[in-house]
Amino acid sequence: MAVSIHKRFIVHPYKFNMWIAIVSMVMIFAAFTSAYVVKKGDTKTWADIQLPQIFTLSTIVIVISSLLMHAAYVSFKKGALEWYRGFMTLTFLAGAAFLSMQIQGWYTLVAQGVYLTDNVAGSFIYVISGAHFLHVAGGVIALLVFSIRSFTRYQASNIEAMKDTTINVEVMATYWHFVDILWVYLFFFFMLNR
């Protein structure tokens, strides 16, 4: 009996909450991308849009940011405060860099003559990448809070207090990996479904 109770708590409720929230976010993008596929199937005027180069770069950046996030999490768990501060701040910066690259990508699209209202293909790229942008922006704000707190809340003297809040960092990391994987999916989706 005791075992089964322990088993239930392998996943902390907060983290479980995040997973279910991720399921619902997956459904949002599943709806968007399946609408994209359906639309592409029955539209004769589907425009062939060249994805901006910078989207490739932003993909690399967000994958790296995910690795940094993991490094931050590992150092937090080890209680390596200095490393945690460094990695967390770098993750935040990478996230912010991703956001600015996405904006640049949209400018490039406009320069190519792809407008929001011109062709459904373009509309979809803006709406879907825009919806993803908002999800990342939410994450970047959270990362900023985590970065600031890594300097204000934790000191070498109260390293024990860190242990109690591991779950927060874990939930943050879960979300950040999710938006990373989501973008990689969207990137390849756009590339393969032109």
Partner 1 sequence: MSEHHAVAHHTEAHAHGHDHHGHDGHHELGFIRKYIFSEDHKTIAKQFLVTGIFWAIIGALLSVLFRIQLGYPNADLTWMKPFLGKWITEEGQIAPEFYNALITMHGTILVFFVLTAGLSGTFSNFLIPLMVGARDMASGFINMLSYWFFFISGAVMFVSFFLATGPASGGWTAYPPLNALHDASSGGVLGVDYWLISMALFIVSALLGGLNYITTVINLRTKGMKMFRLPLPIWAFFLTAVIGVLSFPVLLSAAILLLFDRNLGTSFYLDAINLAGEPLANSGGSPILYQHLFWFLGHPEVYIIILPAMGIVSEVLSVHSRKPIFGYTAMIYSLLAITVLSFIVWAHHMFMTGMNPFIGSIFVIFTLIIAVPSAIKVFNWLTTLWKGDIRLNPQMLFAIGFVSLFISGGLTGIFLGNSSIDIRLHDTYFVVAHFHLVMGVAAFFGMFAGVYHWFPKMFGRYLNPTLGYIHFWGTISAAYLIFYPMHFEISLPRRYYTHSGFETFSDFAHLNAFISTVAIISFALQLLFVFNFFYSIWYGRKLRESNPYGANTLEWTTPLRPGHGNWEGDIPEVHRWPYDYSKHGRDFIPQTEPLSQYEIEHGEHGDEGDRDIIKKEEDENHKG
Footprint on this chain of partner 1 (rule: CB under 8 A)? 1-2, 4-6, 8-9, 11-14, 16-17, 20-21, 23-32, 35, 38-39, 42-43, 45-46, 116-117, 119-120, 123-124, 127, 131
Between 19 and 151, name the residue whose CB sits nearer to partner 1.
19
CB of 138 to partner 1, least distance (A): 13
The token pair at 85 is 């501060």
| Residue where the block lists tokens 């407008």 | 115
The token pair at 157 is 């003297």
The token pair at 55 is 């989207």
The token pair at 26 is 């997956």
Between 68 and 125, name the residue whose CB sits nearer to partner 1.
125
CB of 1 to partner 1, least distance (A): 7
Using CA atoms, how far residue 103 sits from 48, 54, 61, 76, in Å, is: 21, 10, 14, 32
The token pair at 81 is 């405060």
CB of 87 to partner 1, least distance (A): 25
| Residue where the block lists tokens 């708590």 | 9
Using CA atoms, how far residue 152 sits from 10, 39, 81, 145, 148, in Å, is: 30, 50, 12, 10, 6
Between 28 and 67, name the residue whose CB sits nearer to partner 1.
28
CB of 48 to partner 1, least distance (A): 14
